[in-house]
Structure 1
Amino acid sequence: MNFSNPTPIQRKAIPIALQGLDVLGSAVTGSGKTAAFMIPILERLMFKDRNSGAEIRVLILTPTRELAVQCAEVGKSLSRFMDITFAVLVGGVSLKTQETTLRTRPDIVIATPGRLIDHIQNTPSFTLDALDILVLDEADRMLSDGFADELQEVIRSCPKNRQTMLFSATMTDDVDSLVRLSMNRPVRLFVDPKKTVAKALVQEFVRIRKESDRQAFLATLCKRTAKRSTIIFFRQKVLCHQMKVVFGLLGFKAAEIHGNLTQEQRLDALRKFKDGEVDYLLATDVASRGLDIKGVETVINYDMPGQIELYLHRVGRTARASAKGRSISLIGEPDRKLLKAVMKRSDAGKVKHRLIPPDQVKAMTEKLEELKPEVTAVLQEERAEKEIRAGEMQVQKAQNMIEHKDEILSRPKRTWFQSNLDRQEAKDASMEQYAANFPGSSNSASKATKHKKEQPLNHKLKRRKMALDELSQDKGRAVALAKGVRDAKKAQRPKKILHAAPDRSSAPKHASAKPKLKRQKVKSGGFDQELGVKRGGGAVAREGARSKRGDNVPLKDKKGRGTNAKSKGKMKGKIGGKGKR
């Protein structure tokens, strides 16, 4: 194994795990998290009681099939001289073979969440009642891939008095909720909380001015710079396979790994790349987590991911365990924001701008244009072969049904903890969440939901829907019939004789027309006339206004008679008496 000194996460996690405490570990990718939980597990299993019978003691959950196989290989290498058995439960492999392995009661089971729940529900001899240790490796990836419901179901199937170890490269809110659900006062170990890249990694960026030139830039890079031991990451499975065809026509030795391949094809591609039979491994984000491939010199990002965490996992396939490595990323205009985030987390001396001669890019573009008809022909031929294989499979299935009908129908039906509708809704939600990580994906996500096909209903739901439709139609007919009966009865009621019929001739032509009212002329009173204006037009002093000096204002008594100076003085004296104003 060539282990001499433990890594930081191993130095912190192994002593705590040996004490039986729950461990929550977070470290940069490529820091040896697999050995951090595998070594204490093997140490504890060395002292197990053989007289208690064979039981499943350890369960390790991984997000991908390749990571489960790699984890099993590491465990078998560490326990080469120990009496410990392993079982790998992943999709794409025969269920019967796995059921036979589970009957032997292996000590350690390494599985993906979907296949594990399938065995819990449908394999009678499989149980987790005697489980001692539960390990969740790359927990954030499992949650982002839509395995939240499956993880909760697995945790409910495990005994409560167990030890739980959760390891992840990133800590998110979903991971925190999973920690609260599955762990009991865990010891938190954070080795790289700043989310930085490896120290020995050199990052290079190539600016793309036209999106149509990406394939030419990639082919030129592979021809001039990255000639061997190179992993190229793509977002889409279709584009990954298309570039595999282009590489084959250009003479490059390449293998592909993505979700459209079977498990045997994916493992075969990994084997060829590890053994050096091919120089390039074209992959989607399936291969961005946990895979430890020795000797990877270069990682190329054909298109940038939507989050900085995914970028760190991609470039983490090289420069592992203090080795040197290089990453080359093709940057367009939508990737400028992510580029700034990468620059903040990187050493300025380890970031470079790579220039590619334009004449070589132009020559490669012309060559790819010439290869387009051949690429289209190869893709059409593969599509036809795929349809032929699907038809042959249907024929074989029908033939088996005719020959072994009684045996097939006698088998118990496989069950799942969710209905088909719930599974489809969870799958759609995870796909929308994954598409939201990429820039400019809101339109595509809305189109996908807009043009999403209706979920087919089974016979029971169809009959129920038809009955509800008929019930609503009958209810609508009954309401309309009752309204018609009420209107007919109301029309047949006799009119009262005392009320005379209205005179149609005197009625206005339109119902909305109203009779016009004549405006009566009102004689103007004294208040309508403005003060200070005579009827003849001459101006007088305003009544009730304060008089000014020089104004000759005659005073009148109560009877309206004028007063002389004497009476005026008497009145003035009365007014200016002892009383207060």
Structure 2
Amino acid sequence: MRRPKSRAVRKQQKNNELQEIEILNEWIESQKPESGSNPLSLDPLKSKSPIGRIVDHESGAVSFSRYAGARKFHELPLSKRTKNGLEGGGFKKMTDIQVASLPHALCGRDILGAAKTGSGKTLAFVIPVLEKLHRERWGPEDGVGSIIISPTRELAGQLFDVLKTVGKHHNFSAGLLIGGRKEVDSEKERVNELNILVCTPGRLLQHMDETPNFDCSQLQVLVLDEADRILDIGFKKTLNAIVSQLPKRRQTLLFSATQTKSVQDLARLSLKDPEYISVHEKAVTATPSRLQQTAMIVPLEQKLDMLWSFIKAHLRSKILVFLSSCKEVKFVFEAFKKLRPGIPLKCLHGRMNQEKRLGIYSQFCESQSVLFSTDVASRGLDFNKAVDWVVQVDCPEDVASYIHRVGRTARYLSGGRSVLFLTPSEMKMLEKLQAAKVPIQFIKANTKRLQPVSGLLSALLVKYPDMQQLAQRAFITYLRSIYIQKDKEVFDVTKLPIDEYSASLGLPMTPKVKFLNQKEKRETKSEKSSLIEPKIYDEENESVIPKEELLVEDVKDNRGDKDFLLKDDAPYVEGNTSEIGDI
């Protein structure tokens, strides 16, 4: 057991910290970059250049080293506590978004930052939060000093882990406030004692509305991570309610993989003369350079055949598979699990409870397996930087969604691969991706090597009657997800081979899809006919399928024969990824 520090030692430590803070403030003020400048454009510091406070031995003049343009964390005006946390976490060199944003953020400026997924945005706001509170001598009695808002529970949990790592040597109290847990009452008892809150929008607003004496009036720093997505998935009103209860005098940091007009609207409401930082704005590509991306035409009725064949060819990889609805994920997971492809299978979707979702996420991080998921896994999650393949069986709703999905691989300095299945009617998406600087290569599938699975699914549905209802709901919710898409250039449900798709799921008959029947009836009427809000039904019990079931809520490899499924797929050897030449 360590002996407690004496009063003299504690006093000396306090004096040392006060002296350090004084030097840091002088350093930051004297060398702060020009507003609007891009530190990335500056040359790095020379390897043997002095860092920090520099005293001229002859004249006694005091100066400080330049920190704008620094490429390593130890070259920044950071406290010893933060530097120790960074060193303990293995963080030495900065990424582009960190080089560009940290000099501006450390001197108190508001930031609106966009960078490729997996580029290290988390440290770009965690470090300024810790340093701001440290230099303000923030303590438990000062209350909430920073709020970090994340769109999903999983991402909030990851941010909290990074905060604990880098802030390990600080004395701040921090709390993770996310929905889906029963401890809200115990949170209410302690939330006013916390200095840093990492939370989802709904849970934060709940505390603002319900927790007695919940006080954010002294807030120093507000952070919105994945800011575009917080708005996209329906948090706009919640966020406006939150911002209205926060003090106007604060530092605000907004980060995302993409910048949209809605984010800029929010920035005008809450940011003051922000630094607009987009490290990929003039880049050749909008996705990581180590990510090899391909797209291929796969008829709707062959999607499961192609997916099954792909999995069978990559039994020693970590594969993340995206489908558009919860019911699809459930059906494909249950069906393939019964068919036993020879690799562990997992599924993740927004209708799972929080504990189960986090458990599956942790398991997938630790082993080679296949994870079937809705877009709940596409935002910000870092699967230990080791996802070999991202397979998008269903087309993403837009370019931004595509970028976030493929961003689950090729994280940081790792490599990765992705493949996108497009039906013939969705080929317009390929043009949109290429126009947005996504370097995606179009390839043709070699259907001779395809392993049909439809017959096996038919037998499964006979053997397991419950699977038939699951298949029906997967069928209907997929069609519904296409029907409600806004981009009709890409998504046109009338061009889909519905009967063939039904048969590919193993269904003996095509389920009735009432919203499609309504659409056909409307098209036969005159233009004056009123439009009726469509509903969809399960053929078995005529129950309405809620919209929330459709969408999200809130290595070595087994080398197959050459040209197994795809043509012209050159081997990719850079980074920690598969070394195969074919999918």
> 1:504-550 CA deviation, whole Å, 9 max, x = no partner?
xxxxxxxxxxxxxxxxxxxxxxxxxxxxxxxxxxxxxxxxxxxxxxx
Structure 2 distance, partners of 1:234, 1:81, is 42
1:23–1:164 contact (8 Å) kept in structure 2 = yes
After superposition, residues 398-547 of structure 1 pair within 5 angstroms as 435-437=485-487, 439-440=490-491, 450-451=533-534
Aligned to 2:336: 247
Aligned to 1:169: 257
**TM-aligned CA deviation for residue 347 of structure 1:** 7.6
1:318–1:326 contact (8 Å) kept in structure 2 = yes
* SS of structure 2 residue aligned to 1:53: helix
Whether 1:107 aligns to 2:195 is yes
**TM-aligned CA deviation for residue 379 of structure 1:** 7.0
Aligned to 1:315: 406
After superposition, residues 131-210 of structure 1 pair within 5 angstroms as 131-193=219-281, 196-209=286-299
- Name the CA shift for 1:375/1:243 in 2 (closer, same or farther; >3 Å): farther
Q: TM-score, normalised by structure 1?
A: 0.64
**Counterpart among 454, 458, 461 of residue 365 in structure 1:** 454
Structure 1 distance, partners of 2:134, 2:318, is 39
Aligned to 2:375: 285
Structure 2 distance, partners of 1:432, 1:128, is 43
Whether 1:224 aligns to 2:224 is no
**TM-aligned CA deviation for residue 296 of structure 1:** 0.6
**Counterpart among 340, 343, 350 of residue 431 in structure 2:** 340
1:197–1:345 contact (8 Å) kept in structure 2 = no
Structure 2 distance, partners of 1:354, 1:432, is 24
> 1:19-40 CA deviation, whole Å, 9 max, x = no partner?
1111111111111111101012
**TM-aligned CA deviation for residue 136 of structure 1:** 1.0
Provide runs of 4+ in structure 1 moved above 4 Å: 344-348, 378-383, 431-434, 441-449
* SS of structure 2 residue aligned to 1:351: strand
- Name the CA shift for 1:381/1:183 in 2 (closer, same or farther; >3 Å): closer
* SS of structure 2 residue aligned to 1:328: strand
2:139–2:172 contact (8 Å) kept in structure 1 = no
**TM-aligned CA deviation for residue 168 of structure 1:** 1.6
> 1:88-116 CA deviation, whole Å, 9 max, x = no partner?
1111012123223314x111101111111
Residue identity matched to 1:76: K
Structure 2 distance, partners of 1:433, 1:238, is 16
> 1:230-259 CA deviation, whole Å, 9 max, x = no partner?
110111111011111012112242221111
Deviates more, 1:185-194 or 1:306-315: 185-194
- Name the CA shift for 1:153/1:433 in 2 (closer, same or farther; >3 Å): farther
* SS of structure 2 residue aligned to 1:145: helix
**TM-aligned CA deviation for residue 376 of structure 1:** 4.1
Residue identity matched to 2:363: K
- Name the CA shift for 1:295/1:7 in 2 (closer, same or farther; >3 Å): same
Structure 1 distance, partners of 2:231, 2:492, is 20
- Name the CA shift for 1:433/1:47 in 2 (closer, same or farther; >3 Å): farther
* SS of structure 2 residue aligned to 1:76: helix
Q: Which consecutive residues of structure 2, in runs of 5 or more, have no partner in the other structure?
A: 1-88, 473-480, 495-514, 520-530, 537-583
Aligned to 1:258: 349
1:246–1:375 contact (8 Å) kept in structure 2 = no
**TM-aligned CA deviation for residue 375 of structure 1:** 5.3
1:25–1:190 contact (8 Å) kept in structure 2 = yes
Structure 1 distance, partners of 2:483, 2:185, is 34
After superposition, residues 54-93 of structure 1 pair within 5 angstroms as 54-93=142-181
**TM-aligned CA deviation for residue 372 of structure 1:** 2.7
Instruction: Name the structure where helix makes up a greater proportion of residues.
Output: 1
> 1:40-92 CA deviation, whole Å, 9 max, x = no partner?
21122223335782411000111111111111011111112221222111110
**TM-aligned CA deviation for residue 339 of structure 1:** 1.1
- Name the CA shift for 1:123/1:347 in 2 (closer, same or farther; >3 Å): closer
Residue identity matched to 1:284: T
Structure 2 distance, partners of 1:229, 1:169, is 23
**TM-aligned CA deviation for residue 181 of structure 1:** 0.6
**Counterpart among 200, 204, 216 of residue 116 in structure 1:** 204
Q: TM-score, normalised by structure 2?
A: 0.64
Structure 1 distance, partners of 2:331, 2:236, is 32
Deviates more, 1:442-451 or 1:183-192: 442-451
1:113–1:151 contact (8 Å) kept in structure 2 = yes
**TM-aligned CA deviation for residue 355 of structure 1:** 2.7
1:143–1:174 contact (8 Å) kept in structure 2 = yes
Residue identity matched to 1:281: L
2:219–2:247 contact (8 Å) kept in structure 1 = yes
> 1:353-379 CA deviation, whole Å, 9 max, x = no partner?
2534435333x3332332233454357
- Name the CA shift for 1:107/1:354 in 2 (closer, same or farther; >3 Å): farther
Aligned to 2:107: 19
- Name the CA shift for 1:166/1:204 in 2 (closer, same or farther; >3 Å): same
Structure 2 distance, partners of 1:318, 1:268, is 20
Structure 2 distance, partners of 1:116, 1:24, is 22
- Over the matched positions of the two proteins, sequence identity in percent amounts to 32
* SS of structure 2 residue aligned to 1:37: helix
Aligned to 2:304: 215
1:226–1:298 contact (8 Å) kept in structure 2 = no
- Name the CA shift for 1:440/1:352 in 2 (closer, same or farther; >3 Å): closer
1:245–1:375 contact (8 Å) kept in structure 2 = no
Aligned to 2:62: none
Structure 2 distance, partners of 1:225, 1:354, is 19
**TM-aligned CA deviation for residue 452 of structure 1:** 5.9
**TM-aligned CA deviation for residue 382 of structure 1:** 13
* SS of structure 2 residue aligned to 1:25: strand
Residue identity matched to 1:188: Y
1:199–1:322 contact (8 Å) kept in structure 2 = no
Structure 1 distance, partners of 2:223, 2:103, is 16
